[in-house]
Structure 1
């Protein structure tokens, strides 16, 4: 392992962060190597030096484009892909009669769910009941604002990008407990409490594990974290292995993947929605378009988790031959495939086991990893 190059990368992290900030500022002025998506759109439209109004308009268009891409990805992967993957893992036949390869099931499901009656149970806290699904969807979509998806495909690149992602994604916990409480259903309330207890138990290890990446990169800025992984870690047989943090610190990568399963509610950590115990958890009373929003938020959070993993452990959009954006999509789809494999193959744990694993296992291991990372970086620096 080429620790010398790793040391050089850490020594130059502050300079790299400054260079990245300078590049971002330069791109805002219409030049520079690193451009955000609004700047890229402005350049394509020939706007040149953009004022506040033009910048705002380009940011709205960029946000709409990213949201449209995510919704399309969720529609294909969540409605059609989920059935196909689960069927392949469990040796069954999935949808294959509605359109070519069963793809029109996406349209059929959308029409079926959106045309159903929106049933509002008696005694619900109506404002909270209405806003909870919106909170969950919004928190997931907002996280993609700082994810670098390719060259010039990043809505914003603040210096605290990684902290921002975890901050906005954690807002979903508020939506979960609000949905459970507002439904006036004891099973929904229990599911909401379980969901919040699970998120707290596993979000701390998630953040602490990500902090070990920050120690290596020397920055919270997403573009800088990706840039630091572009160096060569080791050369094997003439093949350059990049210094992706999944290779530099595989223990942290495994910890983050496991904690991410709990954050997105996939086996063995899908206890908040365990149908054998509490019907459908916090979303029991939701129907029609509200159920669609709940379902949508679940899958957008899965892809947000995949995007974070791809960015901080797998080099972001970096990859040979193919464009960076395609590599980014391939990486988040690989994480999605892993979550669906876990859903099909791994049995769920009990709620007491889930909390114990989080507080007594994942939390201790994440702090041990952080301490080990600090020692390694301190020795080679």
Structure 2
């Protein structure tokens, strides 16, 4: 498997050339800012659809109920109604909060997710940056979310918020290690940490029946065990059932965001869904060929469309789990992470290294 030697022109360069600024410093800065603005707004728009509307519709479908259907066609205007309702509420600041940390916590959470999208290849040159250590960068900025959760819990001057923040950090540590170790098995296959190269390797044929019916060697097909491990660990990282103990209302009121209201609550909610989409983007990039079509015959559909389909499929999976799988206790959750997922992820890593060593 030989990665492509030269990737496509990145989105900031395309924009700089389009507006006539060229490859100079000014073009790089302006092109980068415009490209980042576009990608961020696409992700924010998806989150606005997912949170107030899609989440309710999917949950209602799974539980045989009627979801939002009164405001606008198919209830879509609930997005605007919820935004106005939440943003117009008073921002209540409890007594005794650690104000700097309390203010920063809801900003850090969505920002850490948006930074992760900077290195994700979304198809047809739609990528902000492509560093050689892109995978490391994505995991590094995503892990900043743990800081936001513990800051919000500690600064709120509420014992339930503090407990939720501590649980969130304990859970993230327990599942972040298996997540990264499982991703390392993909790095062993590809021999690179560069996101575009990981996608390029998966474009090679796994099974070729005819030129139109060529199945690519997505790592979900090559190593399905690692794919399942990564899916489960990602569910824990984004706090979806059965791993949503840090914010379980039946146990600790609402977790680390208990004392937050108005725009700060919206930012926490926004950050949660952005991290779900970032997790879906990493799954798509590492195991599902990124923006590539599943078979050659479907490559007429733009890669960006396939990329969005894949991350929405991961979102659908998280909502199915939320509706169908009960929560586990906090001690069970940590046992699954440290005694189960960690052992299995290292076993997968060793097995992958052996297989690749034998093949190469």
Bin of the TM-score, shorter chain as denominator length: over 0.9
2:318 matched to 1:357? no
Q: Deviations over 1:144-185 (max 9, x none)?
A: 000001111000000000000000000010110000000000
Tell me what 1:227 maps to. Answer: 200
TM-score (norm 2): 0.97
Local SS of the residue matching 1:122: coil
Q: Deviations over 1:233-261 (max 9, x none)?
A: 11357732110000000000000000000
Tell me what 2:163 maps to. Answer: 190
Which residue of the other structure, out of 298, 303, 308, is the alignment partner of 1:329? 308
How far 1:51 sits from its partner (Å)? 1.2
Tell me what 1:258 maps to. Answer: 232
Q: Deviations over 1:280-299 (max 9, x none)?
A: 00000000000000000000
TM-score (norm 1): 0.92
Tell me what 1:376 maps to. Answer: 355
Tell me what 1:89 maps to. Answer: 62
2:340 matched to 1:366? no
Distance 1:140 1:149 in 2: 16
Distance 1:129 1:268 in 2: 28
Distance 2:208 2:41 in 1: 40
Local SS of the residue matching 1:219: coil
Q: Deviations over 1:284-334 (max 9, x none)?
A: 000000000000000000000000000010000011221000000000000
Which residue of the other structure, out of 309, 325, 336, is the alignment partner of 2:283? 309
Tell me what 2:51 maps to. Answer: 78
Which residue of the other structure, out of 247, 250, 256, is the alignment partner of 1:282? 256
How far 1:362 sits from its partner (Å)? 0.1
Local SS of the residue matching 1:307: helix
**After superposition, where does 1:1-381 map in structure 2 within 5 Å?**
9=1, 12-13=2-3, 16=4, 19-20=5-6, 23=7, 34-48=8-22, 50-236=23-209, 239-319=213-293, 320=298, 321-381=300-360
Unaligned runs of 5+ in 1: 1-8, 24-33
Q: Deviations over 1:129-151 (max 9, x none)?
A: 00001111110000000000111
How far 1:54 sits from its partner (Å)? 1.8
Distance 1:110 1:231 in 2: 44
RMSD between superposed Cα atoms in Å: 1.0
Instruction: Work out the number of aligned pairs and report it.
Output: 354
Distance 1:282 1:186 in 2: 9
Contact 2:206-2:214 at 8 Å conserved across structures: yes
Contact 2:13-2:27 at 8 Å conserved across structures: no
Local SS of the residue matching 1:233: strand
Distance 1:43 1:312 in 2: 30
Tell me what 1:28 maps to. Answer: none
How far 1:35 sits from its partner (Å)? 1.1
Local SS of the residue matching 1:347: coil
Tell me what 1:27 maps to. Answer: none
